[in-house]
Every structure is written in structure tokens, then in C-alpha cells.
Amino acid sequence: MKLFDPEQFRQKFPLIASYDQTLSVQSDSKIGLIYFDNAATTQKPQQVIDSQQEYYQGYNANVHRASHHLSNKATYAFEKSRSLVQVFIGAQSVKEIIWTKGATESINIVVQSLARNTLKAGDEIVLCASEHHANIVPWQMVAEQTGAVIKIMPLNRQGYIDITKIDTIISDKTKFVSCAHISNVLGRINPIKQIIAKAKSVGAISLIDGAQAVAHLPIDVQALDCDFYVFSAHKMYGPTGIGVLYGKKSLLESMPPYQGGGEMIKTVSFTQGSRYNSLPFKFEAGTPNIAGVIGLGESITFLTPLLNDVAKDYQDYEQKLVAYCYQALSSIEEVQFIREGCPDIAVIAFTLTDHHNHDVATTLDTYGVAIRAGHHCAMPLMAQLKLDGCLRVSLAAYNTTAEIDYFIATLRKILQSDLSPHDDLRVVAGKEQDKTKAGDLTKVLATEMAGIIALFTKTKGWDSRHREIMLLGKKLTRMDKALRNETTIITGCESLAWLKVELTSQGLYLFTADSDAKIIRGLLVIVLAAYNNKTAKQIADFDINSYFKQLGLMQHLSPSRGNGLLAIVDKIRLFATPV
């Protein structure tokens, strides 16, 4: 009997299975959900969901701290998960498995408990150019604290760490080397064994970020001989809010605790100080995420047979998906992959010529296709590639070629639709104008608020509202390129956006705005209609949350969420601060 069957595997995920249906791109209505954002987080199988519910319903109690039956049962399940992790990654001892909130906290523990206490001015930390922010910012913080220097391993044309350059980067000054096993943007399996060996040859400590690897590859930390390995449960079909720090026992024993509190102590005294607990509890202060740990154990039980199957049906199916999707995207003329060649796992990053990433992603969402747009927490990589961001399709083994076909057909439909950009077109109220002055436009927009409210009141559903926002984006006159500068830019928008202000002799504010994303331009029309031709006090008193609630956009695009709205509103209010 085969351990992996694509259709049976899919049915194990209730959220995914609930959307099973015949896919057709002919209809304009949203079909349900095609989930292509698995590099951000994977969906959860029923057995993982059940394991957490069973804990809360059947034996909810704190662990380690009581002698009653419920606590003993909870402690057994909690520690069983630790043993499962030990075997899953090939650690030598359960004492080397530390529970954390996720890979990010795991990295921070190593940085603050070890690196901060050992680095000196002039010591070097080596990272990779494609790292996730979680494996950059903690090292930048400790470099500032200690005077250490960060060096960067470059990438080759295919997006792998350039192994031919590491001898010039990793040297006797190197004290820590930290890199991703697999890039969350490029989908490349880095040559970490050679990097770890090089680090070891100069006496440096190695940390591997395995967040993108654990759902796709068997991991053996002893064979790799890394000093630390970190990962999160939610990227391997497990719960959010729980992760693992693996560390060699000798290093963990040398490190002071990261936090103080319950469980991480043996004795506490006002007169004699405190003595810390032994591993692994020394790093697990406070009541842990018990349900999360149990859920992680269940995800390992679910995943281990698939990764260890000698037939490799699970891995082969994932490879089939990535090759199929990559080839299908390659057939679209506008697609530009950010690195050469098909990736090693199903994480495919690309841009579309003359189309903004956020416009494409938000439009795909109206057709039920969930992909990621932005910098993917890899801004240094985007800067190196001279990109503001990109689109990322990331697949899991519950995805299908039929879903890919639907995605590709939908993408082609979007590219051929009237939602394609016309950057040089000047449009006001749906009529083409050659050269509409910004002042004229703001007067038009100032009278449009009632019309916008009426429009969105009768527009039902997010897909229809999204379409109206995109069409409104066409009505916004593009700012002169000379005005799109550091003075007018709105910081905090993932898309580029600019705002210019004029104050009339009557004390009224006139705002002109622009963005490189049509979805943001449409939102700017809505925002400017609310704020233009108002006094500073009127702007300060205006309830933007009620306005967006009235438009039916609060759930999707409220100022408290993304899309740069909060930054736009904040800059307007900053310009119009009452004296």
C-alpha cells in the first residue's frame, strides 16, 4: 500500500477539502479557495486539529508542576512530543530540544544568550544575502551591542549561496555563521553541509534556519554537524506559536537563560540568589504552549512516514507540482523569474512586466487564488535584485495540477483584462483628459465622497468592491515624476506611494497623491475624497474607521491593517496637524 496518495492526502486537510469543486475560470464569481501561500504557513490536517482539541477537552492541565492525574497525562503528551522532535531531526538527546514560540525566537535565544556574551569588537558574523529578516535583524542588534561586523555570503546566478566565495567570507575572524537551509523566496536548497564544515574549520559556531526545509526534507542534525538548527511548527502542518531550537548540549549548557520565571529555576532565594534548572527547562520560562507542543508532535507523526518513505512518493509529487507550475508560468510572456531555473522546492518567485505585484495578488484573490506579494521579509535580497518586491507561489502536497491550471488561466485573464495598467492616461470621472491639473482633480475628488459611499453601499462582496477600487485607481491622475521623491513618499507602504499637500488661503488642505500600485491608487481616491478641501480640525476629527466601515471595506482594508492605508492617513494627519 502506498503511503502517499495525492487525493487521500488532500482530504486530510478540512479547510482545503471543504473547497473541492470543479474549477472554471469562465465565471467572474469567486470559486472558493486555492491556497498557494504555503511558505508563509501550511494548512493543518484533521489529526493535528483534533490533538489540540482533545488536550483542551480531555486533559487540560499545566505540565511538570503537579502530581495529579491530569497534569501527569499532559506532561506525558508534552514530553512525548519532545522525544518525537529528537528523532525527527536526529538529535542526540531530548535535552537538546528547546521549545520556543517559533524559529524567530529560537534565533534570538542563540543571539542574546550566546553571541552577545562571546562576541567582541571586530569579530565577524556571516549571513547570506537571501536571509529572512528573522535571521538578519537579531544579528544586527547584537553587532551594535558588541561591535561585531556582519559579512554577507553572495548568491550565484541560480540563487544558491556561492560556495566558491565562502573562503573569502568565512575567516579566522568569523565567530558565527547563520544561514537558511532553504530560501523562503528563491526555493533553493543551500549547500549548508559545506558551509557548516567551513565554519567548523575556523572555529565558528553555525546556526541553520530550517523553517522552509522541515516539511520537504529529512533532517539529520548530527550528520550535518551544525551547532544549532531552528524551525517552526506552522510551516510543517503544525500549529502556530510553537517552534524548536535544537542546540548541541555543550553549547546550551554554557548559555545563560534567555528569560526568567517559572520552570527554568531549581531554587529561588532573596538571600542566596537563584539556581537555574537543567536542560531543556533552563530556556523554557513560564507556562508553555502545551496544546501547540502536542499539536507539533502530531504533525511530526503525520509527516515523518512521508519524508522517510523509500518510495519517495511525497517528495516526487511535490517535485511534479513545482516543475508543472514553473513550466506553466514560463509560458506567460510577462513573467520574469527573479532567479534562473526551476527551484528545488515549490517556492516560485517572479514579477510581471508592467504590472504591480499587489494589483495582481489582490485581483487573484477575488478569483479565490491566494498567493503572496511583497518583499517576503527579505528586503536585502529585493534590494540586491533591484526589485520593490515580487509575487510568490508556494505549493504543498495537497495542491493539484488542476489548481495550477486554474491559477494560470486566471492570471492570463487578468493580464488580458481592462485592469492592465495605463500609466500615462489621465482620467477624471471616467473621461479621458490629456492634461488634467492636480488642483482641478482635487476639486473633483472633494465632491466625490457622497458618490463613493453610494457606489460601495450598493456593491456587494469583496470581489466586486475590489473591482471598483481598481477602476477608481484609473481616475487618479498620475503625479509628475519629479514630484515622486523622498519628500513626498509615504513611508510604511509596501507599495511606493506619494503625497503632496497645498494649503489654500481659506485654510483648506488640498492633497495630491499617487502610487505605483493601482489598488493603492484606488484607495487613495477614496481617502482623498474624505480629506480634501477640509480644515486641519475637520481632518483631525474625521472618523476614517467609520468611513471605511460604511464602505464595507473595514474587514479587508481598514487603516488598522495592511495596504499602506494607515501610513497614508497618518501622513495626511501629520500635514494637517492643528496649530
137-188 confidence digits (pLDDT tens): 999 999 999 999 999 999 999 999 999 999 999 999 999 999 999 999 999 9
The share of the chain scoring above pLDDT 70, in percent, equals 90
- Residue 227, pLDDT score: 98
Return d(Cα 345, Cα 395) in angstroms, integer.
Answer: 9
- Residue 377 annotated among the catalytic residues of the structure: yes
Under DSSP, is residue 413 helix (H, G, I), strand (E, B) or coil?
Answer: helix
Domain residue limits, the chain: 1-49+91-258+307-421, 426-575
pLDDT score of 111: 98
Give 577's pLDDT tier (boundaries 50, 70, 90): confident
Average pLDDT in the 453-476 region? 82
| 494 contacts 515 by C-beta, under 8 angstroms | no
Q: Distance (Å, rounded) from C-alpha 172 to C-alpha 346?
A: 37
The predicted pLDDT at position 564 comes to: 67
The stretch 126-136 carries a mean pLDDT of 98
Round to whole Å and give the CA distance between 212 and 184.
6
Cα dist. 114→111, 142, 196, 202 in Å?
6, 10, 18, 18
150 three-class SS:
strand
Whole-prediction pTM value?
A: 0.87
pLDDT for 212-258, tens place per residue? 999 999 999 999 999 999 999 999 999 999 999 999 999 999 999 99
Sign of the CA dihedral with 122 first, then 123, 129, and 132 last: negative
Interval 36-89: pLDDT, tens? 999 999 999 999 999 999 999 999 999 997 789 999 999 999 999 999 999 999
Count of Cβ atoms closer than 10 Å to residue 41 Cβ: 18
Average pLDDT over residues 118-137: 98
CA end-to-end span of the chain: 76
- pLDDT on residue 77: 97
Q: Which helix (H) or strand (E) holds 44?
A: none
- Average pLDDT, stretch 95-107? 98
- Any alpha helices (H) in 33-136, and if so which ranges? 46-58, 69-89, 103-110, 116-118
Query: CB neighbours of 565 closer than 8 A, spacing ≥ 6?
Result: 523, 527, 548, 557, 558, 559
Report d(CA 389, CA 185) in Å as an integer.
10
515 contacts 500 by C-beta, under 8 angstroms:
no
Compute the distance between CA of residue 514 and CA of residue 489 in angstroms, rounded to an integer: 9
Mean pLDDT for all residues in the chain: 89
Q: How many residues does the chain have?
A: 579
- What pLDDT was estimated at residue 24? 55
Residue 428 has pLDDT above 50, yes or no: no
Other CB atoms closer than 10 Å to residue 275's CB: what's the count? 10
Q: Over range 1-19, report the average pLDDT.
A: 92
Residue pair 242/292 in contact (Cβ under 8 Å)? The answer is yes
Q: Indicate the pLDDT class of residue 437, thresholds 50, 70 and 90.
A: very low
Identify the active-site residue in 128, 325, 342, 377. Answer: 377
pLDDT one-digit tens code per residue, 284-327: 999 999 999 999 999 999 999 999 999 999 999 999 999 999 99
Q: What residues contact 395, with CB distance under 8 A and at least 6 apart?
A: 36, 38, 318, 321, 322, 325, 346, 404
- pLDDT at position 548 over 60: yes
What local confidence, expressed as pLDDT, does residue 555 receive? 66
Could you tell me the pLDDT band of residue 351, with boundaries at 50, 70 and 90?
very high
How would you class 197 by CB atoms within 10 Å of its CB: exposed for 0-12, middle for 13-18, buried for 19 or more?
middle
- Contact indicator for 181, 192 with CB cutoff of 8 Å: yes
* 271 or 23, higher pLDDT: 271
Backbone angles phi, psi at 278, to 5 degrees: -80, 170
Q: Cα 524 to the chain's mean position, in Å?
A: 25
**pLDDT score, position 576:** 83
pLDDT of residue 68: 92
Q: What is the DSSP letter of 114?
A: I
The torsion of the CA quartet 315, 320, 321, 322, rounded to 10 degrees, works out to 90
Q: Do you find a cis peptide bond into 280, omega within 30 degrees of 0?
A: yes
Place of cell 501629520: 574
Indicate the angle between helix axes 290-308 and 46-58, nearest 10 degrees.
150
Adjacency order of strands within the sheet including 335-337: 335-337, 347-352, 390-394, 372-374
Statement: residue 536 has pLDDT above 70: yes
Q: Residues 82-104: what's their mean pLDDT?
A: 98
CATH architecture of 1-49+91-258+307-421: 3-Layer(aba) Sandwich (3.40)
State yes or no: pLDDT of 438 exceeds 50. Answer: no
Inform me whether the pLDDT recorded for 534 exceeds 70. yes
pLDDT tens for 466-511 read: 888 888 888 888 888 888 888 888 876 667 889 999 988 888 999 9
Residue 169 grid cell:
567570507
Contacts of residue 371, defined as CB under 8 A and 6 or more positions apart, other chains included, come to 36, 37, 361, 364, 391, 392, 393, 407
Look at residue 560 and tell me whether its pLDDT is greater than 50: no
Confidence grade of residue 425 (pLDDT, cut at 50, 70, 90) = very low
Q: Which residues, including other chains, have CB under 8 Å from residue 252's CB and lie 6 or more apart?
A: 95, 96, 98, 279, 280, 282, 283
Q: Which of 138, 135, 101, 112 is nearest to 244 (CA)?
A: 101
Residue 353 — φ and ψ, nearest 5°?
Answer: -55, 125
Which residues fall within 8 angstroms of residue 227, CB to CB, at 6 or more apart? 205, 206, 207, 247, 248, 251
* Class of domain 426-575 (CATH, top level): alpha beta
Mean pLDDT over 340-365 rounds to: 94
pLDDT in tens, 500-518: 999 888 889 999 999 888 8
pLDDT at residue 23, as a whole number = 59
Q: Which amino acid is at 325?
A: C
- pLDDT, residue 28, reads 47
